[in-house]
Structure 1
Amino acid sequence: MDALLYLVPAVITAGCVFGVVQVIRRALRTSELWAHGLTAEGRCLNTYAKTSGGNDAAVRSTLHHVYEFTTREGGRFRFDEAGGDSTVVAGDHVTVRYLAERPQWATALEPARGRLIIGTGVVVVFLGVMIAGCVLFAVSAHSAF
């Protein structure tokens, strides 16, 4: 029973640390695409919404776009991106930014560094609070027993 008092917070902490690493990694990748990425004309192939929640929880929808573009080297790539402009519909042409060595990491999001920094910061702070809570719980459980 005592092992659960340490195991559960450790698993939650590990998941939060993994989340922090992924969020920071994605923000750095997006920032690099905006700063150093090559541009190509892309086309929106499809849009769809993913919904989550329901029952007793609030329903949340996220708009996704499926884009296709051709690199300067002639390679054709498709990618799915969440959170794009809601006015972009199938058939619209967009500017795609990609890295020559990693075209699969492309984005059609317009550069918005402030939004990227704030969004990343909020998620990192939230996960940091969860990590601190897990550590505090484990320490207080250790002190109590």
Structure 2
Amino acid sequence: MVIAAAYFVLAVGAAVMFGRTLDRQLQGPRLRSAWAEGLTAEARCVSLRTEEVQSPEGGPLEQTHPTLEFRTADGHTVSFEERQSRLTPALGDFVTVYYGTANPKDATTRAPSFGMRHARTLITGAGSFFALVTAAVIALVS
């Protein structure tokens, strides 16, 4: 029983750390702050930057990052490079951006989604559930 309890504590801690790390890698805090106030604007693509990266298979892959410019509700013009979206507008195209008043440069073209809003909680919860089931099995077997 002690081994099962120790396993459970360690596994839940690992689930929490994994959820936090994955949330940061997916830019969850930045996206949630951009979506929090529900502010949107129409942004125009003012430039495109292309970079060559390595694909998961090891071959070369080109990624294009648009620089978008929009006007906030209080009249400030904001320009930012979108790196999170699969959207690649052409020069001069307009797209909807989501932003917060505290830091409009953290705007995004990604629409709010349940998965991204709650990724950290979902991952931590799933990991904790599996830790509980595994700890119960360990307790029953030993």
TM-score (norm 2): 0.56
1:97 counterpart = 2:105: no
The structure-2 alpha-carbon separation of the partners of 1:64 and 1:113, relative to structure 1 and needing over 3 Å to count, comes to farther
Q: Which AA in structure 1 matches 2:51?
A: K
How far residue 40 of structure 1 moved from its aligned partner, in angstroms, is: 1.4
Q: Which AA in structure 1 matches 2:90?
A: V
Q: Which AA in structure 2 matches 1:57?
A: G
Percent identity, please: 28
Match of 2:59 in 1: 58
Q: How does 1:1-145 map to 2 (within 5 A)?
A: 20=21, 23=24, 26-53=27-54, 57-86=58-87, 88-114=89-115, 117=119
How far residue 99 of structure 1 moved from its aligned partner, in angstroms, is: 0.7
Contact kept, 8 Å, 2:34 with 2:104, in 1: the verdict is: no
Structure 1, unpaired ranges of 5+ = 1-16, 126-145
The structure-2 alpha-carbon separation of the partners of 1:26 and 1:83, relative to structure 1 and needing over 3 Å to count, comes to closer
Structure 2, unpaired ranges of 5+ = 1-17, 128-142
Measure the CA separation in 2 of the matches of 1:113 and 1:49: 30
Measure the CA separation in 1 of the matches of 2:35 and 2:110: 9
Contact kept, 8 Å, 1:62 with 1:83, in 2: the verdict is: no
Match of 2:131 in 1: none
Measure the CA separation in 2 of the matches of 1:86 and 1:25: 16
Q: Would you tell me which structure has more strand in proportion to its own residues?
A: 1
Query: Secondary structure at the residue paired with 2:24?
Result: helix
RMSD: 3.5
Q: Which AA in structure 2 matches 1:105?
A: D
Contact kept, 8 Å, 2:47 with 2:68, in 1: the verdict is: yes
Measure the CA separation in 2 of the matches of 1:86 and 1:105: 16
Q: Taking CA–CA contacts closer than 8 Å with sequence separation of 6 or more, which of the two structures ends up with the larger relative contact order?
A: 2
Measure the CA separation in 2 of the matches of 1:51 and 1:24: 20
Query: Secondary structure at the residue paired with 2:27?
Result: helix
How far residue 60 of structure 1 moved from its aligned partner, in angstroms, is: 2.9
How far residue 113 of structure 1 moved from its aligned partner, in angstroms, is: 3.8
TM-superposition CA deviations, 1:43-102 (whole Å, max 9, x none): 111223211239x93223322111001111111110001243445211111111111111
Contact kept, 8 Å, 1:70 with 1:77, in 2: the verdict is: yes
